[in-house]
Chain A
Amino acid sequence: MTTSPAHQSYIDDRLDDGHFSVRRAAMHDPALFDLEIERIFESNWVFVGLASQLPAAHDYLSVMVGRTPVLLSRGGDGQIRGFIDSCRHRGARLTAQPQGNRRTHACPYHGWVYDSQGRCLDVKDRQHGAYAPAFEAEDHNLVEVARLGDYRGFLFVSLGADVPTLDEFLGDTRSFLDLAIDQSPDGLECVPGDVSYTYRGNWKLQVENALDLYHFTSTHPSYIQVLSQRKQRRQEGGDQRPSSIYENMAAQRGAQRGTLSFPYGHVAYWGDNPNAAERPLARDYDALVERVGAHKAEWMLKVRNLVIFPNLQLVENASLQLRILRPLRPDLTEVRAYCLAPVGEDAATRRARIRQYEDFYNPSGLATPDDVAVYERCQHGSAARQIDWFQGYARGITARHEGGNDAAAELGLNPVESVTGGYALADETCFHTIYREWQRLLGLPAGEPTP
């Protein structure tokens, strides 16, 4: 039970026997958490932001990658670079704000100055400093991150060099990113307004939730109730607020849903959308079809949740949300949330999109607070040391299909595994590939665990 994490398996992967499970300690063990930070968040690709957040020369974005402050800066040459946000002299973080525009970054402590391409321009009073030649021979520039990759404006950083190319890492999930990016000929933008929150639970609870259909009717009945009352009042002519795709749960229950699992722990979840007309994107559907084709337009209107392991979630039901996860402690996680919208959207559509977004996604809205509350209940309850394993990875095992299926073929994708079923199937096998990748990156022993 108290074996060091490096020597025990946290997953019980025996699908031939119809069995897959995750050890509850995966959500709690502090030594394991340190390993996650070191081997996943500080060694591998993580999402850091959108290029549209730093559009002009010398714009910068200050982010955290694991425990490491990272400065993303667009140089005078137009190129975005990533640096460890730490003065070479005494280590102070150079940026005081999460974003801005600076031609140079001067350290507030001893005044060393760097340009927006990370070059050290000035070591204050260098000529009077009686420096030895050894110092003069050193490179004083900011230290660049090992890898920075940009997929159509989605920026990723890896602090470790031993990673696949970003294209290899993202693989077929790029098609799902395209379904968001191509919603406007001019791409996506972040609607202004910062929203971030923390919850007292493990980061993997949020990873799972974005793909968890099973919880919706039991965690969100108060939201579903609000929507049905709103619909009734609208029909009576008394309510003009925008509707939601979840107003008609009966239609949702009749819809097909599916999951597609990809290499490197990424998963896409999709669902037919019987209430697609409620989507802001549907308002100018003919133009959309003309631009991207009927097939792609149809996929854009589906419910689609994409998890790019470990920290990016792109969630689209009524409107489109981008979430960035950051583990702070085994039992504390930060979520930064952005409302994404097609550039050039008309004002009325944008307004409806924003209201739908706030209703569903805001931590001050009508649905997300209930997710957060249940994560905290999970963290609390699963601390019980008397029970070793979760029973939450078993739905869909007899429905899963190695490789692709019809849905994958429609998009020309080659997933590792795929599942399609009715709304009530609520597949849980999509979590398997996530935990297999998680275990691989941690370097934990695979296969059947020691008791």
Chain B
Amino acid sequence: MTHAPSERTLAARDLAEHLIHGELRDLDAQDWEAWLARFHPEVEYWVPAWRQGLAPTSDPGGEISLIYCDSRGGLEERVRRLISQRSPASTPPRRTAHLAGNVLAEWQDDGSVVATAVFQTFQYDWVERRDHGFFGQSRYRFVRDDATDGWLIRQKRQVLLNDALPGMLDFYLL
């Protein structure tokens, strides 16, 4: 049985969709500063690996993740590396098209909003003329930022379903 969603739930979904689409637009525009500004300084950014193919790893302290950052500093490092011109894997960066769908969201008791979505990210290596797509499930937690009267990403977790990696993976390809 499914109840009709409340206005409040629909408002949470609208908000989450807006924030997620904005984040993905920044990635596709390769506007790294704008993208980083969307994250809380203590963001948990997490791409788990899989445990014997059956379930994603659930404990980043005791199991391997594909990417695990527990601060925006970790994301800033990745951005700097990407644009450094000194990383053969990142030079030139690939073109991307990020899609998020099936967004659902709920308010939490602490005033944050937790959203789930399905992602599909296409990448194109225009030098080698090759493309690839990653897809999976995302989970976000957004928190209110009083300083800017806006919203920040406090947690972002992406479970990559097709985890046989063609050479490499980086944040902007998810």
A376 to B127, CA, bound (A): 12
Given known pairs A97-B53, A193-B63, the reply for A200 and B87 (CB within 8 Å) is no
Task: Check A373 against B88 for contact (C-beta < 8 Å).
Answer: yes
Chain B interface size range: 35 or more
- Check if A197 sits within 8 Å of B165, measured CB to CB: yes
Contact A226 to B77, CB < 8 A, known contacts A358-B68, A364-B165, A373-B168: yes
| Alpha-carbon distance between A198 and B52 when the two chains are bound, in angstroms | 18
Q: Judge whether B86 and A221 touch: CB under 8 Å.
A: yes
Docked complex Cα distance between A363 and B165 (Å): 8
C-alpha gap A192/B60 in the complex (Å): 10
Looking at the complex, which one of B53, B73, B87 makes contact with A369 (CB distance below 8 Å)? B87
How far in angstroms is the closest Cβ of chain B from A233? 7
Given contacts A239-B73, A354-B60, contact A366 B81 (CB under 8 A): yes
A377 and B165: CB pair below 8 A? no
Contacting residues, chain A, for B61 (C-beta < 8 A): 347, 350-351, 354
Complex partner residue of A357 from B51, B64, B163, CB under 8 angstroms:
B64
In the complex, which residues of chain B have a beta carbon less than 8 angstroms from the beta carbon of A363? 165, 167-169
Q: Is the CB of B62 within 8 A of A191?
A: yes
Closest A residue to B65 using CB positions = A358
Contact present for A200 and B73 (CB under 8 Å):
no
Given contacts A222-B86, A370-B88, A370-B89, contact A364 B67 (CB under 8 A): yes
Q: A193-B49, A193-B57, A350-B61 are in contact. Are A222 and B90 (CB under 8 A)?
A: yes
Separation in Å of the B165 CB from the closest CB of chain A? Answer: 4
Within 8 A of B (CB), among A204-228: 219, 221-223, 225-226
Q: Which residues of A contact B77 (CB under 8 A)?
A: 226, 229-230, 366
Residues from 364 to 390 in A contacting B, C-beta threshold 8 Å: 364-366, 368-370, 372-374, 376-377
Within 87-110 of B, Cβ neighbours of A (below 8 Å) are at 87-90
Knowing A222-B90, A363-B165 are in contact, say whether A192-B47 is a contact too (CB < 8 A). no
Per the bound structure, the CA–CA distance linking A448 and B72 in Å amounts to 57
Q: Which residues of B contact A195 (CB under 8 A)?
A: 49, 64, 66, 165
A350 & B66 in contact (Cβ 8 Å cutoff)? no
Q: Which residues of B contact A222 (CB under 8 A)?
A: 81, 84, 86-87, 90
Choice from A99, A233, A366, A374 contacting B52 with Cβ under 8 Å: A99
Contact B81 A191 (CB under 8 A): no
Q: Which residues of B contact A162 (CB under 8 A)?
A: none
Q: Does A14 contact B (CB under 8 A)?
A: no
Given that A225-B81, A241-B74, A373-B88 are contacting pairs, would A191 and B63 also be in contact in the complex, using a CB cutoff of 8 Å? Answer: yes
Query: Would A364 and B88 count as touching, CB distance under 8 A?
Result: no
B31 contacts the other chain (CB 8 A):
no
Chain A nearest CB: distance from B58 CB in Å? 9
Which B residues are in CB contact (< 8 Å) with A194? Answer: 49-53, 64, 163
Partner of B167, one of A98, A197, A226, A358: A197
Q: Is the CB of A198 within 8 A of B164?
A: yes
The verdict on A175 contacting chain B, using a C-beta distance below 8 Å, is no
Top 9 A-B pairs, shortest CB-CB distance: A193-B64, A369-B168, A369-B89, A193-B49, A222-B87, A364-B169, A197-B165, A373-B89, A373-B88
Question: Can you sample 24 A-B contacts with CB below 8 Å?
Answer: A97-B52, A99-B52, A192-B52, A192-B62, A193-B51, A194-B49, A194-B51, A195-B165, A198-B165, A198-B166, A200-B167, A222-B81, A222-B87, A225-B81, A238-B73, A350-B61, A354-B60, A354-B65, A362-B66, A363-B165, A364-B67, A365-B67, A369-B167, A373-B88
Inter-chain pairs besides A98-B52, A239-B73, A370-B89, 5 sampled, C-beta below 8 Å: A97-B52, A192-B63, A197-B166, A225-B80, A238-B73
User: Which A residues have a C-beta under 8 Å from some C-beta of B?
Assistant: 97-99, 191-200, 219, 221-223, 225-226, 229-230, 233, 238-239, 241, 339, 347, 350-351, 354-355, 357-358, 362-366, 368-370, 372-374, 376-377
